[in-house]
């Protein structure tokens, strides 16, 4: 390892030791936290479905047309390989059902089977990675009305229930094959563009559909169901059927995971404040870490105060086993591999910083009512040499230190991405 990285780390180690923090222990803990990296940043939520493929549509949309989008599963896996080689640690792959591989054959979503995901599973297995999964309830002719599981058309509703059931089998297969439960997240675009008069009807149908879809018990050793709410979306500006209250209630009643997407709440609400509330009542949650800009805009995650606050909530409360961390953003206006790398590294940096906090000392001060010292330490720690610890971690994990990863992405862009049409 480079001498200056090591030297800086030694100095940082001493500095943190003064606060009672062992940086080696912190890095050992960081290594144990997997991030579920979303496949859909790599191709603008396109997927590889035959016939029904196309725009992301149905309530979400990636904007931009940066060259080099992955067009095939092989390209997407190669791009993920590149991104993973630049992100320290062992992580998970979060796959959407529309990334099925059907050998050129049209297989509708109610008919998909584990075999259509075999290549992904083999790919993950070879790397010792776990996988998470998502039914795809959008970008399909049967979602064009804007309603899926809450549709008032029985054919449509039953089709999507069948899709959900098929996906739970696939998720179970992933969990079995990879030896770690697959978290299957349910997000639907259903909602009303303009003011509805029968919100209740739609919500009652959604509840009935979820009950039917999730009726079969699957071992939590292999598969976990999660439900994701949203405040509003494209085409569901006036009412989202799967609102926060709806899914919070559903998760509590049925003992499912609640998924909190950081871009799915009112702009002054923060997910960091919700974690310790919902974890009083649900066993586990899934996070979709994104970056909202004015609305649900799915920007690349930056190292900002809220990201740090989320990491602090997880680490301070030792919630690592109860919070599944997934990323959810899609930016097609910049190099897509860089987007993955920036967002993932930021999530890890925030966890690294949180692991270096003297949280027990801070809690004691708070309990004693010593808010002066609490604030002083919180502010002081912002300027401690966390970067030296992070750099050392990257070097130790054999990934580029500092901005060196960007050179790798630029090389890949020149040699690989720019050769794609
Ligand atoms: C959409 C939700 C959902 C999707 C992914 C692709 O608003 O955030 O999680 O982004 O399923
Ligand atoms: Zn999300």
pLDDT tens string 233-246? 999 999 999 999 99
For CA atoms 155, 156, 158, 163, the dihedral sign is positive
- 416 in any annotated domain: no
Ligand nearest to the CA of 289: 2
Tokens of 152: 């008032």
Please give the average per-residue pLDDT across 20-32, as a whole number: 98
The finding on whether 288 has its CB within 6 A of some atom of ligand 1 is yes
* Rg of the chain in Å (alpha carbons): 22
Predicted confidence band of residue 57 (pLDDT cuts 50, 70, 90): low
Residue 68 in domain:
yes
Identify the residue whose C-alpha is closest to ligand 1 atom 3: 187
Taking residue 52's Cβ as centre, other Cβ atoms within 10 Å add up to 17
Q: How many domains does the chain have?
A: 1
pLDDT value for 177 = 98
What is the C-alpha to C-alpha distance for residues 342 and 296, in angstroms, rounded to an integer? Answer: 19
Confidence class for position 92, pLDDT limits 50, 70, 90: very high
Check pLDDT > 70 for residue 53: no
* Domain presence at residue 15: no
> Is 187 designated active site?
yes
pLDDT score for 380:
95
Rounded distance from Cα 316 to ligand 1 centre (Å): 28
**For residue 357, is it within any domain?**
no
Residue 421 pLDDT level (bands cut at 50, 70, 90): confident
Residue 311 · residue 353 · CB < 8 Å: yes
Per residue in 189-237, pLDDT tens?
999 999 999 999 999 999 999 999 999 999 999 999 999 999 999 999 9
User: One of 187, 340, 390, 405 is an active-site residue; which one?
Assistant: 187
Res 55 pLDDT > 70: no
Residue 372 belongs to some domain of the structure: no
CATH number for the domain spanning 297: value is 3.20.20.150
Q: What is the residue with the minimal CA distance to atom 7 of ligand 1?
A: 60
Q: Is the pLDDT of residue 295 over 90?
A: no
Q: Is residue 208 part of a domain?
A: yes
Q: Which domain holds residue 146?
A: 34-344
- pLDDT computed for residue 294 by the predictor: 87
Is 13 an annotated catalytic residue? no
Residue at 377 is within a domain: no
Nearest by Cα to 389 from 348, 360, 361: 348
Using a 6 Å cutoff on CB, does residue 296 contact ligand 1?
yes
Q: Name beta bridge partners: 286.
A: 259, 324
- Ligand 1 atom 9 nearest Cα: 187
Answer whether residue 54 shows pLDDT above 90.
no
| Per-residue pLDDT tens over the stretch 321-365 | 999 999 999 999 999 999 999 999 999 999 999 999 999 999 999
Euclidean distance between CA atoms 290 and 179, whole angstroms: 27
Nearest ligand by distance to the CA of 43: 1
**Residue 2 pLDDT grade (very low, low, confident, very high; cuts 50, 70, 90):** very high
The mean pLDDT of the chain is: 96
Catalytic residue, candidates 132, 306, 313, 328: 328
38 annotated active-site: no
261 ligand 1 Cβ < 6 A: yes
Q: Please work out whether the CB of residue 60 comes within 6 Å of at least one atom of ligand 1.
A: yes
Alpha carbon distance 149, 188 (integer Å): 7
By C-alpha distance, which of 179, 168, 40 is closest to 112?
168
156 inside domain: yes
Q: The whole model's pTM is what? A: 0.97
């Amino acid at each position: 390892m480079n001498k200056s990285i090591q030297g800086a780390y030694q100095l940082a180690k001493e500095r943190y030791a003064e606060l009672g923090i062992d940086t080696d222990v912190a890095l050992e803990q960081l290594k144990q936290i997997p991030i579920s990296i979303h496949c859909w940043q790599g191709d603008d939520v396109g997927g590889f479905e035959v016939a029904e493929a196309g725009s992301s549509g149905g309530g979400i949309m990636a904007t931009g047309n940066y060259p080099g989008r992955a067009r095939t599963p092989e390209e997407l896996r190669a791009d993920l390989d590149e991104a993973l080689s630049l992100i320290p640690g062992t992580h998970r792959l979060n796959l959407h059902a529309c990334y099925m591989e059907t050998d050129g054959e049209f297989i509708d979503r109610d008919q998909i089977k584990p075999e259509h995901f075999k290549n992904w599973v083999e790919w993950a297995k070879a790397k010792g990675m776990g996988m998470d999964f998502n039914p795809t309830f959008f970008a399909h002719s049967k979602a064009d009305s804007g309603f899926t599981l809450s549709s008032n058309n029985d054919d449509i509703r039953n089709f999507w229930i069948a899709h959900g059931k098929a996906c739970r089998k696939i998720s179970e297969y992933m969990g079995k094959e990879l030896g770690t439960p697959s978290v299957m997240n349910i997000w639907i675009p259903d909602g009303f563009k303009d003011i509805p008069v029968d919100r209740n009807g739609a919500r009652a149908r959604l509840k009935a559909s979820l009950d039917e879809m999730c009726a079969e018990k699957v071992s939590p050793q292999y598969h976990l169901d999660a439900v994701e709410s949203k405040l509003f979306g494209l085409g569901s500006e006036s009412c989202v059927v799967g609102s926060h209250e709806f899914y919070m209630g559903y998760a509590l009643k049925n003992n499912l995971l609640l998924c909190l997407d950081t871009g799915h709440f009112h702009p002054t609400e923060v997910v960091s404040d919700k974690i310790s509330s919902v974890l009083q009542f649900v066993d586990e949650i899934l996070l979709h870490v994104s970056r909202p800009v004015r609305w649900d805009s799915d920007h690349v995650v930056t190292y900002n105060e809220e990201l740090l606050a989320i990491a602090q909530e997880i680490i301070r409360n030792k919630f690592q086993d109860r919070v599944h961390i997934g990323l959810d953003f899609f930016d097609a206006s910049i190099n897509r591999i860089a987007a993955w790398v920036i967002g993932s590294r930021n999530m890890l940096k925030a966890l690294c910083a949180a692991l270096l906090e003297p949280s027990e000392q801070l809690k004691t001060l708070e309990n004693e009512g010593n808010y002066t010292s609490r604030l002083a330490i919180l502010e002081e720690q912002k300027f401690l040499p966390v970067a030296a610890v992070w750099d050392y971690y990257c070097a130790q994990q054999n990934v580029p230190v500092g901005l060196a990863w960007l050179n790798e992405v630029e090389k890949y862009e020149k040699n690989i991405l720019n050769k794609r049409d």
